[in-house]
A = this chain, B = another copy of it.
Amino acid sequence: MGAVKTKRMPRAVREQQMLDAAVRTFGQRGYMAASMDEIAELAGVSKPLVYLYLNSKEDLFTACIRREAKALTEAVRAGARPGLPADRQLWSGLAAFFTHTARHPDGWAVLHLQARTHGEVFAAEVAAMRTEIVAFVTQLILEAAREAHRDPDLPAREVSGLAEALVGAAESLADWANATPGVTARQSAATLMNFAWAGLGDLMEGRHWTPPDDEAGAGEAQAGRTSPVR
């Protein structure tokens, strides 16, 4: 039993308890496998009350996504203290991100795993949050370049791609960190900063890498497939 079964509390409080229970259940069981019964019981209330306050499973899930998305973005923004140099902001923002995802694994699962696998509506909700974060990171990168007296007008497209890759890597790392015991948020952040700053290039001689233009490349080994792939 999750919350102590206290009777008669104001609606706002009960609603948060329900969202807590829902995030946890959705995060662990998945959207479909989570039953409203289980959520209600975990919240310490009866099912009709859940419906009275949150309307439907879909609405409940959406409410979870919104709450968790807001919490995550706020955590990241709060982590990246505006006063610092941009690279430090990036670092602390990432640290805050990993800290948050580690502290709220279910919330993170809801956002990163569940919301993306159960319908466009939910996916869109998360996509909005992601876009916001990518924009934020892009800005930080540009600022950092400026502070480093590097050419500020380098292709914006390029920078966006890097930001996209960085965020993607961060998300993957968050999953991996949550699945691997003993990895701290600072470690994750450091790994990612290292990768982003120096990358593999540092291990090699050349600074740049350019794709060869050869290629026929993608011969496919069709393991046992009998019908056209799609």
Q: Which A residues form the contact surface with B (CB < 8 A)?
A: 2-3, 13, 16-17, 19-20, 24, 30-33, 67, 70-71, 74-75, 78-79, 87-88, 91-92, 95-96, 99-100, 103-106, 113-114, 116-118, 127, 141, 144-145, 148-150, 154, 158, 161-162, 164-169, 171-173, 175-176, 179, 185-186, 189-209, 211-212, 215, 217-227, 229-230
Contact B16 A204 (CB under 8 A): no
Contact B205 A197 (CB under 8 A): no
Contact B209 A194 (CB under 8 A): yes
| Nearest CB in chain B: distance from A45 CB, A | 13
| Nearest CB in chain B: distance from A183 CB, A | 10
Query: Beyond A168-B176, A172-B168, A230-B106, is A197–B196 a contact (Cβ under 8 Å)?
Result: no
Copies per complex? 4
Provide 20 A-B residue pairs closer than 8 Å at the C-beta atoms, listed in order of the A residue. A17-B226, A75-B221, A79-B217, A87-B209, A88-B212, A95-B215, A113-B117, A117-B117, A144-B200, A145-B204, A150-B204, A164-B176, A165-B169, A165-B192, A168-B176, A195-B196, A197-B204, A197-B207, A197-B208, A198-B208
Query: Beyond A209-B194, A211-B189, is A204–B165 a contact (Cβ under 8 Å)?
Result: no
Contact B33 A118 (CB under 8 A): yes
> A203 contacts which chain B residues (CB < 8 A)?
141, 144-145, 148, 150, 154
| Nearest CB in chain B: distance from A41 CB, A | 14
Contact B161 A165 (CB under 8 A): no
Once bound together, how far apart are the Cα atoms of A167 and B207, in whole Å? 21
